[in-house]
Amino acid sequence: MNITLRMAWRNLWRHKRRTWLTVGAMIFSNLLLVFMISLQFGSYRMMIDNTLQSYIGHMQIQREGYNDNPKIRNSINAIIPLANDVRKKINSNRVAARGVAFAMASSEQRSFGLQIVGVEPEFEVNVSSLPGLINKGKYFSHINAKEIIIGSILARNLRVSVGDELTLLGGGRDGSFAAGVVFVTGIFDSGIASVDRSMAQLPMGYFQSLFGMGSHGHSIVVNAKDLTRVSVLQNKLTDIIKNNNKLVVLNWEILQPGLKQAIQADMASAWFMYAVLIVLVAFSVLNTQLMSVLERTREFGTMMALGAKPSRLGRLVITETFMMSTIGLLVGAALGYVLTYYLTIVGFSYPGMEEMAARFNLPDRMYPSISLLSIFLGPGIVFVFSLLASLYPALRLFFLQPVSAMKAV
Amino acid sequence: MKSYLAVKAILTLAWRNLWRNHRRTLIMLAAITVGVWAMIFMTALMRGMVDDMLVNGIRDLPGEVQIHHPLYRDDPSINNSISMPSKKLLDILQSPEIKAWTARVRVPGVISSERDSRGVTLLGVDPETEVQVSFDKDSIIEGRFLKDSNDTGIVIGARMAERLETRLGKRVVIMSQDPNNNIADRGFRIVGIYKAKMASLEELYVYAAKKTVQKLLNMDNKISEIAITGENYRHVENWYARVKKTVGKKSETLAWYEADVYLGSMLKMMDGFVLVWVIVIFIALSFGLVNTLVMAVFERVREIGLMQALGMRPGMIMYQILMESFLLLVIGLMLGNVLAVISIVPLQDGIDVSGVAEGMEMMGTSSVLYPALELNDMVLANIIVIVLGFLASVLPALRAARYDPVEALGKN
């Protein structure tokens, strides 16, 4: 063992209580950071997944300008062949074409203005969770069926159930008057009130003929295997559509800017809190190391008189901090891991969370998501700032005069 | 007199001891100051956000207390309408605690220009009272708000006008359902365009005059809801109970915290957050605090032994250490409080967070954040720091008091 290491280690335990208190501050902060960051990662992931999977998807191919101005005329020509082409080129079935229109839906007793979405029954199941959430009736029989599926609250409000008729009245793409009668074939219950209250889907073929769309549609939803692969796939798609300069590929961050921004806002406030914790730990380390340097002034003076260079003493002080920080890092990360792991199994909840969760499409209990990053990010930063905090005490040694130092009390 | 002298002596000793090692004291003070500042600053920001969320939310709910048909909230249809307030209810609505009330027709409909159509919520309002309860007249950016309950114009949001490719003075058609499920439609001239604090609302609400809408939808003098606003949304209980009792079981009377449990839970959650945050920061501080005291005692073992040998009682020694801790905490708290106030005051005009406006909207707040410095929160933070700080100092203080004078004097 290197002599500096050994000296540093022994120096640390000359003041057991002080060392443990300093390490304790690190462990406390690290434990908290691991827990908070894992919880954050977990809830963001769930928030994104739950919000995107019901409808929006990871990416959409749209006509340029449609996202800002979703008018029925801003459509893509020959959308189904294009969707087929995309499917072939990226070799994935998580691709589905859609059309969107507004119509007044009337049952015998009620009428509501609704956004009506035309979908490809065969592929919609791969990009959206709604088809799987049908708890009454079934999904569309074929792409030209005069059938509609609606949310559970909407069904209740329209006073309809499976097999009933709905009349749709609206404006077609060509400015014509769109009117048609469809049968409710399925009712889904997603648990998200806004979706269950307002979502209605028609099969794409019938949608196109009802709303005078011809072969047009409004978007092609493309999902990646998971969120981390979105950008790669987006590049691929951009490449595929580059011959058609009227089309764009938009990812979820643009399709649903609120989601990303809510996460950013939450991140900002969370990092403010983390920063405060980290600064407080740094103060603690600064205090401890400064004290430990000051009380050893005579000792350091003697060592310098014996030929030790200030840089060596500085290294010694930094090594001491390094050791403390390492203990803090390892113990904090380990305890944090244990706590967080436990919570990934039993879940985590606090009063008021249920209401909050419902607002952000989260389940009632949160499950942190553990990864190397979530475990080591916080403790890693604490580690770095602890080392930085010990720089001042270490640098002071360079101004030490051996003779006067040896005389210090 | 004697105790006064003792306190004075302890105070002087503690004060001087603190500054014997001014570096350590300053670092600790800096830590406490930063900690306390963070406690108060963060709390004020969060409070401000929640206040905004609540004010916006309640305005949109609508009202601090609302009266609906029992089925309306689940099924906001014209069939679930109620009558205008009875004579008895009117009497209560005149009482001084109630600032304003308004009655609305609020039904789903479709708005169409020659270019496009959209689903909207059609509000039939009494303009005079509507502006007292919910609609902000300053939000009109073009044209005017409705004149009276018979106005035949319509006021739509700026985003909606953009979507429909229409503008002030043009006509739009409103379609909705009458009580017999006949589709009723009527042309309206756009007399005003408003810009909402939360942009998504601009696409949701269109305002027409109440009587005009009632006539269009053949609903006589029926309405969808009554919205009532008092002086302060935190204190609605007093008059809410009376309103609820008078309305009876036939209609549903709800206070805002019942109507939107998310909003209702926010206040409590916020209180919880403040407490947790303050305590977490305190714990992070306490390590340093205890450390400082332990060091202070350790350095002075011989001195403490000497004082004891000279007849100072262990209790006095304990008080002295506690006093040091107390002084540290009090100075740190003062600095922290001052810093917090100084940093919050310039932000009173609002912090622009429009970069994440749509995210804030998801949470229910607008894109300008107004920090809300509340006395309660400051007091809470200060009390927690003093009380817990004192408790954390007891252990090192007790240790100091327990030294054996002979042994302590012999220490090097």
Number of cross-chain residue pairs from A and B with Cβ atoms under 8 Å apart: 189
Q: State the pLDDT at residue A339.
A: 93
Nearest to A110 among B38, B177, B265 (CB): B177
From the centroid of its chain, how far is CA B384?
21
pLDDT above 70: residue B361: yes
Closest CA to B292 of B326, B317, B319: B326
| Stretch B258-266: mean pLDDT | 83
Q: State the pLDDT at residue A349.
A: 80
Averaged pLDDT of chain B: 88
Q: How far apart are CA B264 and CA A13, in angstroms?
A: 52
For B145-182, the pLDDT digits (tens) are: 999 989 999 999 999 998 888 999 999 999 888 888 88
Closest CA to A266 of B337, B353, B106, B150: B353
Question: CA torsion angle for B211, B216, B222, B227 (degrees, to 10)?
Answer: -60
- Is the model's pTM score more than 0.80? yes
Contact of B71 with chain A, judged by CB distance below 8 Å, is answered with: no
Give me the amino acid identity at B45. Answer: L
Report the chain A residue with the minimal C-alpha distance to residue B262: A355
CB A97 within 8 A of CB A217: yes
Q: How far apart are CA A312 and CA B390, in angstroms?
A: 40
Q: How far apart are CA A111 and CA A182, in angstroms?
A: 14
Query: Which residue stretches of chain A have pLDDT < 50?
Result: none
Contact of B293 with chain A, judged by CB distance below 8 Å, is answered with: no
Contact of A286 with chain B, judged by CB distance below 8 Å, is answered with: yes
Task: Tell me the pLDDT band of B378, cut-offs 50, 70 and 90.
Answer: very high
Q: Which residue shows structure tokens 């609906």?
A: B68
Q: State the pLDDT at residue A1.
A: 62
| Stretch B326-351: mean pLDDT | 92
Tokens of residue B126, six digits: 């009494």
Contact of B284 with chain A, judged by CB distance below 8 Å, is answered with: yes
Cβ-defined contact of B116 to A112 (cutoff 8 Å): no
For B2-35, the pLDDT digits (tens) are: 678 888 888 998 899 889 888 889 999 999 999 9
Nearest to A25 among B24, B28, B288 (CB): B288
Q: State the pLDDT at residue A95.
A: 94
A contact residues 220-249, partner B, Cβ 8 Å cutoff: none
Q: State the pLDDT at residue B282.
A: 93
Q: How far apart are CA B285 and CA B36, in angstroms?
A: 10
| Stretch B373-380: mean pLDDT | 90
Contact of A323 with chain B, judged by CB distance below 8 Å, is answered with: no
Is the reported ipTM for this assembly greater than 0.85?
no
Give me the amino acid identity at B224. Answer: S
What DSSP string runs through B80-137?
S-BPPPPHHHHHHHTSTTEEEEEEEEEEEEEEE-SS-EEEEEEEEE-HHHHHHHT--G
For A5-26, the pLDDT digits (tens) are: 999 999 999 889 889 999 999 9
Cβ-defined contact of A355 to B262 (cutoff 8 Å): yes
Cβ-defined contact of A102 to B34 (cutoff 8 Å): no
Task: Tell me the pLDDT band of B314, cut-offs 50, 70 and 90.
Answer: confident
Tokens of residue B172, six digits: 């739009």
pLDDT above 90: residue B79: no
Cβ-defined contact of A280 to B176 (cutoff 8 Å): no
| Stretch B117-143: mean pLDDT | 90
Closest CA to A147 of A73, A207, A107: A207
Q: How far apart are CA B266 and CA A383, in angstroms?
A: 35
pLDDT above 60: residue B1: no
Cβ-defined contact of A259 to B110 (cutoff 8 Å): no
Q: How far apart are CA A207 and CA A196, in angstroms?
A: 20
Q: State the pLDDT at residue A234.
A: 92
Q: Where are the domains of chain B?
A: 2-57+264-410, 63-259
